[in-house]
Amino acid sequence: MCGICGKIAHGARANERVSPELLGAMTSQMVHRGPDDGGTLLRHYPDYSVGLGHRRLSIIDLSTAGRQPLSNETGTVWVLLNGEIYNFAELRSQLEGKGHQFSSRTDSEVIVHLYEDYGEGAVKKLRGMFALAIWDEERGRLLLARDRLGKKPLFYSEGPGHFLFASELNALMEDPSISSELDWASLADYLALSYIPIPRSIFRSVRKLPPAHFLLWEKGRVSLQRYWTVDNSPKWIASEEEYIEGILEALRESTRLRLVSDVPLGALLSGGIDSSAVVATMAGLMDRPVKTFSIGFEVDVFNELPHARRIAERFGTDHHEFVVRPDAVEVLPQIVRHFGEPFADSSALPTYYLAKMTREHVTVALNGDAGDETFGGYERYVALGLAHRFDRLPLSVRQGLCLALRPVLGNSLKEKGLRRRLRRFLDALPLSSAGRYLRWMSIAQEELRPHLYSPSLLGAWESEGRGHPLADGYESLVEAPEIENLAEGAMRLDLVTYLPNDLLVKMDIMTMAHALEARSPFLDHKFVELAASIPSRFKVRGRQTKYILKRALASLLPPDIIHRGKMGFGVPLARWFRSELKEYAREVLLDPASLRRGYFQPSAVEALLRQHALEEEDHGYLIWSLLVLELWHREVLEGRVRGVPQKGKMA
């Protein structure tokens, strides 16, 4: 795993050569991603100047032969890679058979020679997680590409006379030519979802390369193309036993590919079904005990350590644990800096500590990411089907039902309680399928925004046409004609939104903050294609989630692990903000500098904190989002914004 970056100066700015100082500054921002080595390449031509930079975390071929940028035999094609190519040995054998010469044992070098033979088509032959850059000197062309599911990030910025890219936003923003003007639509999306969806970033001038896409820069022109998509339409019609056999074989293969490493590896173990399945599979493939790492909380409803211990004992792993306490929030400013833009998934906090502990023992760790999105593990998949049954009733009846039952349910503050879930279900009943999904995924609910947002923010948000963020695009995904039912539509939606925008961002940034490489067997694109080919009625069956996966894993895991309720990787924010972190939240959010930002109405912020402290409402996640946004201003943005803020505009 590594960090990559680069710049092209062209056109009227071609004489402004890319400087080694800029590349040094950009790569320095990513030393945590690649502490083992670094390299740069500078090329100056009559019409443009090119600079490439790399930070290396050595995983395969630890020698200096693997230093990047890495070229072909003639030095005309250069590659930068962040990630791992799991089928590199097979590809290398094929390329050597064609006469290609290799100077290292790395997986990166196969990309150079694949490009020589197949051009941009080389990307389709890669099986792995990656963000890569290829500089083709003879054609004056830059190719950027990102893996199919979005494991590895890549930011880019295109402006008059320049094009830049980097693995992390902080590295990209080292170039003073990139504007720090905020993107209002992105800010609105963040406040709704806790993250900024691809392809936007918090800055208008910066974009994220979408998963399964490649970008070509050639003679000042940029083009973007998708090279892969999950096809949900052709279904594999088979017996349950055939599905079970196929799932287990695919899991063994994808896990085996991810065990190739020249450095120590282990597994992140939550005690849930997905990570437990990965550990069980690893134990069957390795000739030594698996090193496992788990994290927990003192609050029982959030603590999965007992379940993780059971799996560790069952498979004889070398097990390690860490308990996250409220004082762990001291690292929040550091976490905010690592993300580079506002990102408020609170599970980033325990993930940070889990990665820190894990890196003290290993350099590579497998995990269970994407089991829920591919095999139907979330409650919302069941809830969408149940809510759809009410669509036979007129809207007025559904609205009346909601108004009549809401007082009966009351305002349950019990975290993860049944009454709380029923109220969330009821509140979404009058909405469309996509509207329900957004309601369940949103932090700042739509009816709260006019009271919370300042007139400036509300006006800008509405002028951007974001009155109901993302709803139209979500509707087209949830109810696409090739989708079998709403559960399958929501799984597809999660696979292209929630997974790459939230879960994979969190895992990449928090693990790479400690130079830990995270590998995900469930994210192997062939495994994802297999899962998509299984009819959704074998995934969500009635109120049971992950039906066929649970059946498949019955031969590996104990029944109480397979059938226990899903806990997720939550954080007890509601309790923390009423106790140990109550004064911290007030100190930050009611600070005069914070209130002067102009995003929110001060009285509304104070009301949120008061209602939460008095247990009148649970605003835990919203308070966390506001806290992260303010800390982002302090830790990242201040000192970077150019120009004088205008009245009513955000600093």
Tell me which of 92 and 480 has the higher pLDDT: 92
Tell me which of 457 and 107 has the higher pLDDT: 107
> Is-contact 124 111, C-beta < 8 A?
no
> Is-contact 555 598, C-beta < 8 A?
no
**pLDDT surpasses 80 at 146:** yes
Q: Record the pTM.
A: 0.94
Under the banding of pLDDT at 50, 70 and 90, the label for residue 470 is low
Give 406-437 as a DSSP string.
HHHH-----TT-HHHHHHHHHHTTTS-HHHHH
Tell me which of 406 and 211 has the higher pLDDT: 211
**pLDDT surpasses 50 at 132:** yes
Residue 416, pLDDT score:
60
CA distance 335 to 632: 10
Residue 61, pLDDT score:
80
Least confident of 56-60, 513-517, 603-607: 56-60
Under the banding of pLDDT at 50, 70 and 90, the label for residue 408 is confident
CA distance 406 to 422: 9
Looking at every residue in the chain, the average pLDDT score rounds to 91
Under the banding of pLDDT at 50, 70 and 90, the label for residue 648 is very low
Instruction: Give the percent of the chain with pLDDT over 90.
Output: 73
Residue 412, pLDDT score:
56
Tell me which of 244 and 327 has the higher pLDDT: 244
Rounded to 10 degrees, the C-alpha dihedral 242/247/253/259 comes to -150
- Going from the C-alpha of 490 to that of each of 309, 344, 434, the distances in angstroms are 32, 22, 9
Residue 650, pLDDT score:
35
**556-561 contacts at long range (C-beta below 8 A, 24 or more positions apart):** 556/277, 556/280, 556/281, 557/273, 557/276, 557/277, 557/280, 557/311, 558/310, 558/314, 561/271, 561/273, 561/276, 561/307, 561/310, 561/311
Q: What is the mean pLDDT of residues 482-486?
A: 83
Q: What is the mean pLDDT of residues 186-194?
A: 90
Helix (H, G, I), strand (E, B) or coil at 330: helix
Place of tokens 């211990």: 309
Nearest to 254 by CA among 561, 624, 636, 530: 530
Nearest to 519 by CA among 364, 319, 374: 364
CA distance 170 to 338: 8
CB count in 10 Å sphere of residue 626: 26
Residue 414, pLDDT score:
55
CA distance 147 to 539: 25
For the stretch 549-559, what's the b/e string if a residue is b when 16 or more beta carbons lie within 10 angstroms of its beta carbon? bbbbbeebbee
Tell me which of 434 and 145 has the higher pLDDT: 145
Nearest to 626 by CA among 183, 202, 191, 188: 191
Q: Give 343-362 pLDDT, tens digit per residue.
A: 999 999 999 999 999 999 99
